[in-house]
């Protein structure tokens, strides 16, 4: 039994890391789309791609589980509104009016909100090890973002986009808590198909308004490839891994692993965009990874 529990925990940790790696790439890929596609429209293209990509593999099971889908709707609707309809659209909207530095800083508040909400609604205990891990990981993120000069924090010019990103961070934390509280009854493919479908329905009015006011976007070959990545990778694959991780190790530990997001983004930016990496990046990586290991160690 102990070996089985350890294996499940390790699997959950790896799934959380996998989702975070994919989302790190999403920040880089989606950056080029934010100026050419409106936020709700981009979010709709992303989730529609994920839904269509999953449909051939899940529709038979969805039909077989249609009674369970109906029973799960009271729990599914708020999850879809938070995790699909609202979160990503707000993130894309925030990127229009604030800097990458500000977005990175605010995004790292998500695990804090997850831990606080898990304490309030799930009554998860805040252990000393978890708090130390949180402190180390947060310190590593701040070190990475500021380049070792904490005085830069006082010079940040906050904009309306910072408020949108702050709201998005709280929303994703709420989604993670709801996933943990979901009563079950659906297989993973059917759960995701239903989640995406319900979220798309609620996203449609916002997308329609953007199309009427801003017009339809021009989809280039590069944009199409980026949409496939955020649809099949950052939506379908990453959400499947994240949901499995939350179910296995809980939202608090999964949230701590989410702190590695800027670390992976920095590595990808170095590999694909040629952005430099120095000693400060290695130090911050040590703090982030050390904090994650400390908090998740059984």
Query: What integer is the mean pLDDT of 259-273?
Result: 71
Residue of 91 and 100 predicted with greater confidence? 91
Neighbours of 218 (CB within 10 A): 8
Is the predicted pLDDT of residue 216 greater than 80, yes or no?
Answer: yes
Query: Closest by alpha carbon to 295, among 117, 173, 113, 135?
Result: 135
CA 277 to chain centre: 24
pLDDT digits (tens, 9 = 90+) for 20-33: 888 877 767 666 77
Instruction: Report whether pLDDT(203) > 70.
Output: yes
Stretch 226-253: mean pLDDT, rounded? Answer: 88
* 17 has a pLDDT exceeding 80: yes
Please tell me the distance from the alpha carbon of residue 232 to that of residue 49, in angstroms, as a whole number: 7
- Residue-level pLDDT at 69: 96
Query: pLDDT: is 48 or 159 the higher one?
Result: 48
What is the per-residue pLDDT across 164-174, written as a single tens digit (0 to 9) for each?
888 888 899 89
Give residue 50's pLDDT: 94
Span of 61-70, 123-132, 163-172 with lowest mean pLDDT: 123-132
The yes-or-no verdict on residue 182 having pLDDT over 80 is yes
Decide: 253 and 296 in contact? Cβ < 8 Å. Answer: yes
Task: Please report the pLDDT score of residue 93 as a whole number.
Answer: 85
- Confidence class for position 268, pLDDT limits 50, 70, 90: confident
**Residue 115 and residue 112: Cα distance in Å, rounded?**
5
In sequence order, which residues have a C-beta less than 8 Å from that of residue 11 and are 6 or more positions away? 244, 248
Domain boundaries, the chain: 2-296
pLDDT surpassing 90 at residue 129: no
- The 3-class secondary structure across 36-87, one letter per residue, is CCCHHHHHHHHHHHHHHHHHHHHHHHHHHCHHHHHHHHHHHHHHHHHHHHHH
- pLDDT at position 111 is 76
Mean pLDDT rounded to a whole number for the chain: 82
User: Pick from 92, 78, 142: which is nearest to 112 by CA?
Assistant: 142
3-state helix, strand, coil in the chain (%, to 5): 85, 0, 15
Pairwise CA distance, residues 162 & 181, whole Å = 29
Both structure tokens of 67: 């009674």
Question: Which range among 3-7, 131-135, 264-268 has the greatest average pLDDT?
Answer: 131-135
């Amino acid at each position: 039994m102990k070996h089985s529990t350890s294996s499940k925990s390790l699997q959950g940790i790896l799934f959380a890391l996998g989702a975070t790696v994919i989302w790190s790439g999403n920040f880089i890929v989606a950056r080029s789309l934010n100026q050419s596609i409106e936020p709700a429209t981009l979010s709709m293209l992303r989730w529609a791609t994920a839904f269509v990509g999953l449909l051939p593999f899940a529709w038979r099971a969805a039909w077989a589980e249609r009674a369970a889908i109906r029973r799960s709707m009271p729990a599914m609707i708020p999850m879809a509104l938070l995790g699909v309809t609202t979160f990503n659209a707000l993130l894309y909207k925030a990127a229009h009016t604030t800097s990458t530095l500000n977005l990175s800083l605010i995004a790292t508040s998500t695990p804090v909100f997850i831990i606080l909400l898990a304490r309030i609604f799930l009554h998860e205990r805040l252990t000393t090890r978890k708090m130390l891990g949180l402190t180390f990981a947060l310190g590593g993120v701040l070190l990475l973002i500021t380049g070792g000069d904490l005085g830069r924090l006082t010079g940040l010019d906050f904009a309306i986009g910072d408020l949108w990103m702050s709201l998005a961070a709280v929303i994703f934390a709420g989604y993670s808590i709801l996933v943990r509280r979901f009563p079950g009854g659906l297989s993973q493919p059917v759960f995701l198909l239903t989640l995406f479908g319900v979220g798309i329905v609620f996203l449609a009015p916002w997308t329609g308004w953007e199309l009427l006011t801003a017009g339809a976007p021009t989809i280039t070959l590069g944009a199409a490839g980026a949409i496939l990545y955020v649809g099949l990778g950052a939506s379908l694959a990453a959400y499947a891994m994240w949901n499995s991780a939350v179910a296995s190790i809980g939202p608090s530990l999964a949230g701590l692993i989410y702190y590695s997001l800027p670390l992976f983004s920095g590595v990808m930016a170095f590999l694909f965009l040629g952005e430099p990496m120095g000693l400060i990046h290695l130090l911050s990586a040590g703090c982030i990874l050390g904090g994650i290991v400390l908090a998740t160690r059984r």
